[in-house]
Amino acid sequence: MVLSTPEIDARYSRENESLIAKHREWEIEIGDTEDASTFHPQLKLTPWDNETNLSIRFDPRGLFLPATPDVSFEREKVLWTAGDVQVRMYDKGGFERETGRFEFEVILGSKPLTNVLTWTITTKGLSFFKQPPNLAALQAGDPTATAQDWVFDSYAVYHATKKHDFTALGGKNYRAGKAFHIRRPKATDNLGRETWCDLDIDTAAGALKVIIPAAFLNAAAYPVSVDPDFGKQTQGASQVSIENRVRGAIATDSDAGGEVVSMGAWLDASGAGTKDVAVAIYATGENGALHANGVSDENAVETDSVFREIIFTFSTNPVLVASTDYALVAWAEGGAGDTRMARDIVADEQVDRFGFAYNYPSFPDPLGGTQGSNRFSIWGTYAGGSASQAVIIS
């Protein structure tokens, strides 16, 4: 792989036959640095300085008759072509912030022999959670839940054990522990007709599969593109209301405990002016008590329906006790419009805490309410204890 473009040279450095881009604690590798002999249609993402990683490689076998691959470039895109199948890999930008996206697009030049596209997948230190298949399933038990269409049947990917911000201690900022989101793919034919595809990830089997509806391929005008999208996304992909509802995430503090100097959450609001929001820390259990100094100062959230990372501070910093479960919660005033917190669904895990029908702004004590399978985009910032004492996700 010798040829290049100015866009490629501006984004990447080279190692063997691979391209590498570094964005703070993230690294993107296109190709396989461990194989100096050839270029592979492979993507590796390494959040938090390779403390976790994901690597996928496209497997063209079974789609068409075998063909000799060729590598070329088109502006910022790396093209791998083998007969009637082409892979286009490119950074869509934003990795220096919290909104990076990488496209691993597959172009089918004619009708393939199978409707299943396959990648091998290897991971380190990550957990994958498939999101509900439709709006009705997303809203089960909570009619305030909303999401864009690409969220359904997509995958939220989290650090397997860590969350919260330890940068003040020389550690890493995990926020709510989310690394990225793998969106539900869409197939588009040469006439612009579109259909959603099924996405299935089995890390134990080492396979990521995109299943294109066979009827779409039968009627398609070729070429057909399929667009698996891997996004650096620290906020949850769906949202629920926190107006007159106290909601939050359950976490176990480190063995040594620690001082919390602030809390963060991904929030948006609609209506007029601003909406007042506060966060708090509770003990868990059926009647979790409000923690000492555990209520933050209020913060005003703009009512422009744009999700932002909102930081809350405390008049007196709370100190969490070692090896103890806590619920970190958020709560908003009511009124015209709504205030929402981002979240993902993590089936079969009880990792959230919420209580309904409370009137803002006096936090109830105890909280009451129930636990569920929402992983809310809320976290604490530590300035006591040790950076190695990451809060473990229950």
Amino acid identity of 294?
Answer: G
Tokens found for residue 231: 């996004």
Mean pLDDT of the chain: 89
- Bridge partners for 195 per DSSP: 187
pLDDT of 91:
84
Buried b (16+ CB within 10 A) or exposed e, 153-175: bbbbbbbbebbbbbeebebbbbb
CA distance readout (Å), 279 to 75, 208, 307, 311 = 46, 38, 17, 10
Please give the Cα distance from 1 to 319 (Å, whole number).
55
For residues 389 and 394, give the distance between their C-alpha atoms in angstroms, rounded to a whole number: 15
pLDDT tens-digit series, residues 49-73: 999 999 999 999 999 988 999 999 9
- Closest C-alpha among 62, 74, 69, 98 to residue 86: 69
Question: Which of 296-300, 339-343, 347-351 is predicted with the least confidence, judged by mean pLDDT?
Answer: 347-351
Cα–Cα distance measured from residue 274 to residue 269, given in angstroms and rounded to the nearest whole number: 8
Nearest alpha-carbon partner for 39 in 67, 80, 9, 11 = 80
Give the Cα separation of 270 and 2 in Å (integer). 51
Question: What tens digit of pLDDT does each residue of 121-179 get?
Answer: 999 999 999 999 999 999 987 899 999 999 999 999 999 989 899 898 889 999 999 99
Give residue 393's pLDDT: 43
Instruction: Go through the domains of the chain in sequence order and give each one's CATH number.
Output: 6-124+184-227 (no CATH), 238-393 (2.60.120)
- Cα 49 to Cα 8: distance, rounded to the nearest angstrom: 22
What phi, psi does 261 have (nearest 5°)? -95, -20
Residue 178 one-letter amino acid: K
